[in-house]
Amino acid sequence: MWNVDLIATDAVQRAANIQLMLSDNDGVLTDACVYYSESGETLKKYNMRDGMGFDRLREIAKIETGIVTREETEFARRRAEKLKLSEVLIGIKDKPLAIREIAKAKNLSLEQIGFIGDDMNDLEVLKIVGFAACPKDALPAILEVCHVVAHLPGGHGAFRCVAEFIIESKLAKNES
């Protein structure tokens, strides 16, 4: 499998069953840092490999993709637009409620939803979804509840690691 540690014995089955993969933004798609230029401009860094992970999930595994983030920034909105994400929830204070609403609107069970997060505001979501993942530099409480842990830290391809694991899991399920 592709650069993840399997924490749960049923991680492959869980990954193979998801229909929607959602991600936090800061700390997963970025390195959780904010950069300031001398002129005061705020910058964030995104990894292009993560972007390809979103594309491959949609194209190969036929999984819808999106972000659910607490931050209300134009960074996340612009990145989501570039990635052509179907679900873009920005400024979300109650992530579990938002996930339940998405599930209901899309007629999905929570078991059909995957989420990758890194910090305490992701903890309750990771506990309710069918497939929970995190970057290797996630907080200890997050590492404890995830089904898989990416070998890479947030902002350095962690999402891509998880995306490839999901794709391989889906393909293995289809072959059997």
Q: What is the pLDDT of residues 8-21, one digit of tens each?
A: 889 999 999 999 99
Which residues have a Cβ under 8 Å from the Cβ of 102 and sit 6 or more positions away? Answer: 20, 22, 66, 87, 89, 108, 113
Cα 49 to Cα 51: distance, rounded to the nearest angstrom:
5
Q: What is the pLDDT of residues 61-115, one digit of tens each?
A: 999 999 999 988 888 899 999 999 999 999 999 999 999 999 999 999 999 999 9
CATH code (residue 64): 3.40.50.1000
Q: What is the pLDDT of residues 20-48, one digit of tens each?
A: 999 999 999 999 999 998 998 988 999 99
Q: For residue 50, what is the enclosing H or E element?
A: helix 48-59
Cα 156 to Cα 48: distance, rounded to the nearest angstrom:
9
Residue 1 has what pLDDT?
47
Among 137, 132, 94, residue whose Cα is nearest residue 115:
132
% pLDDT > 70, the chain? 98
What domain range includes position 143? 4-175
The domain total for the chain is 1
